[in-house]
Amino acid sequence: MRSQQSMKNIRIFTIYGVLAFFSIMYLIPLFWMISTSLKPNEQVMSIPMKWFPNPPQWKNYVDAVKSFPFLRYAGNTLFLTAMNVIGNMFTASLVAYSFSKLRWRGRDTLFYITIATMFIPGQVLIIPIYILFTHLGWVNTYLPLIVPAFCGGGAFNIFLLRQFFVSIPDELLESARIDGASELKIFFKVILPLSRPALFTVALFTIVFTWNDFFGPLIYLHDPSKWTLAIGLRSFQQQYSTDWNLLMAASTLTALPLIVLYFVAQEKMMRGFTLRTGIK
């Protein structure tokens, strides 16, 4: 018995050991980013390396923000993110409602097609979409990065919300219908208030995705005043290719909103991620 107990202790000790070791490995890059962002430039590439900046150059953050239009890019990114959140949440939930709670011909076929579209690689789509937006005169405006969000909010979000709506009991909707409520009213007064957790998940994913998007802004936004943080950082790196400390300061500032969001909404974000499998 005693040896079984000690075996168990060894096992637990090993689990903690492995997890702790890799946790440190996972945190080191992040630590390195912040550490570099506070170093004087000559310590950035120093050999042997310096784990800690000495002394910490808080000024790097001021210099980084000053050396490219950081605030403008942050504003642009924020604007695009907000528009995508609104568009995705609103239209994906309308469509998901139709796919889950309304009965109509061809509904299930269209839903399967929707699922199938998730597996289509983006590269086959992007060229005609780009040509379409060029003909509409939308290149170098925000429209290509906003309008698609208002056209159904994407297959993945529809899928995620539909999974959630299915779990809302039909009796609830039927009694509202008997009381003479229109579908639109049921949607706004019954479905949406009950679906806050799922809507929240859609919003979180949209924020992370839009904030990080590089390809869209790269091909559609040519005018530097319209750039997002991702594109702005890229040009900053090209211009000041030696100032890795400033680049890391700007990078840290770009990542900061998402890190804060993560720590605030952690549980919801993880739950949303697990919803993604659709396996309950």
Partner 1 sequence: MPKRRSKYFRRKTLIGYLFAAPWLLGMSLFVLGPIIATLFLSFTTYDMINPPRWIGLVNYKILFSLDPSFWKALGNTFYYMFGSVFLKVFIGLFFAILLSNALRGMRIFRTIYFLPVVLPSIPVMFLWMMMFNPKSGLINQILGFFGVEGPLWLNSPVWSKPAMILMSLWGIGGIIVIFLAGLQDIPEYLYEAAELDGANRVQKFWRITVPMLMPVIFFNIVTGLIGASQVFAESYIMTGGGPLESTTFVNLKIYLLAFKDVKMGYASAMAWVMFMILVPMTILLFKIAKKWMNY
Q: Which of residues 99-118 bind partner 1 (CB under 8 A)?
A: 99, 102-105, 107, 110, 113-114, 117
Cα separations in angstroms, 40 against 57, 144, 158: 6, 41, 48
Output the smallest distance, CB 27 to partner 1, in A. 6
Smaller CB distance to partner 1: residue 14 or 175? 14
C-beta of 61 vs 187, nearer to partner 1: 187
HSE value, Cβ hemisphere, 13 Å, CA-based, for 17: 6
Q: Read off the tokens for 116.
A: 């199938």
- Options 67-75, 161-169, 170-178, 208-216: segment touching partner 1 (CB under 8 A): 208-216
Candidate segments 1-9, 24-32, 54-62, 159-167, binder of partner 1 by CB under 8 A: 24-32
CA dist list (Å): 133 to 129, 155, 219, 229, 244? 6, 21, 11, 22, 36
**What part of residues 235-264 is at the interface with partner 1 (CB under 8 A)?**
237, 244, 247-248, 250-252, 254-255, 258-259, 261-262
The least distance separating partner 1 from the CB of residue 10, rounded to whole angstroms, comes to 13
Site for partner 1 in 29-48 (CB under 8 A): 29-30, 32-33, 36, 44-48
What is the per-residue binding string for partner 1 in 178-197, x denoting contact by CB under 8 A? -----x---x----------
Among 85, 153, 164, 206, binds partner 1 (CB under 8 A): 153
Q: Which of 62, 120, 166, 264 binds partner 1 (CB under 8 A)?
A: 120
Q: Which is nearer to partner 1, 3 or 277 (CB)?
A: 277
How far, CA to CA in Å, does 42 sit from each of 103, 142, 239, 240?
67, 40, 18, 15
Binding to partner 1 by CB under 8 A, coded x per residue (else -) over 57-76, reads --------------------
Nearer to partner 1, 4 or 277 (CB): 277
Q: What is the smallest separation between the CB atom of 180 and partner 1, expressed in angstroms?
A: 15
In the complex, the smallest distance separating the C-beta of residue 273 from partner 1, rounded to whole angstroms, is 5
